[in-house]
Amino acid sequence: MLALLSDGEMGAYVNREQRTPMAIPGEDIANSQSVPIAILIGPDTSGVPELFAAALRSQGRARLVGLPTPGNVLTFQRRILLDGSVLTFAESSFVTPSGEDLGLAGLSPDLLVEEDWDQVTPADDPVLSKALELLLQEG
């Protein structure tokens, strides 16, 4: 999906030893590289969907609408200690091209809307309505 919607470096996976860029060569199919995009985010947006939203925003391809995300993009290591206990620690995170570490702060929406998915209905969804308004204004 990232290749259809954008192109270039979208951030990097980082750990103590290295920085591994996430660079995606784009492919424009039926004007997919120029279609306006709004991504609905919130506390339940975590992991790969959080990376997807961050990557598209970092390229200027998407606006984020909703609530902040939790930053659940860390990878973890486990070590069994001599006494049998287990030590779990964060090993890597994802950093946007602007230096935003998603594991520390998550994503903040470009347009904050105070309703979460469980507070809306298909007939009355203020998050979706605001995203549509945003796309119509920018399109």
What CATH number is given to the structural domain containing 15?
3.90.226.10
pLDDT number for residue 29: 95
**pTM, 2 dp:** 0.85
Torsion of CA 82, 84, 90, 91, to 10 degrees: 50
First to last CA, the chain: 21
pLDDT number for residue 137: 87
For 17-75, write each residue's pLDDT tens digit: 999 999 999 999 999 999 999 999 999 999 999 999 999 999 999 999 999 999 999 98
Inside any domain, residue 93: yes
CB 9 within 8 A of CB 56: no
For 76-91, write each residue's pLDDT tens digit: 899 999 999 999 998 9
Query: Is 138 a residue whose pLDDT tops 80?
Result: no
Inside any domain, residue 97: yes
CB 95 within 8 A of CB 124: no
Range 82-103 average pLDDT: 93
Q: Name every residue whose Cβ is closer than 8 Å to that of residue 138 and which is 6 or more positions away in sequence.
A: 36, 63
Query: Is 99 a residue whose pLDDT tops 80?
Result: yes
Inside any domain, residue 99: yes
Total domains present in the chain = 1
Write out the residue range of the structural domain in which residue 87 sits.
Answer: 2-25+36-115
Q: The tokens of 132 are what?
A: 């549509």
Inside any domain, residue 12: yes
Inside any domain, residue 131: no
Inside any domain, residue 19: yes
For 105-119, write each residue's pLDDT tens digit: 899 999 999 887 778
Distance CA(91)–CA(50), nearest Å, equals: 18
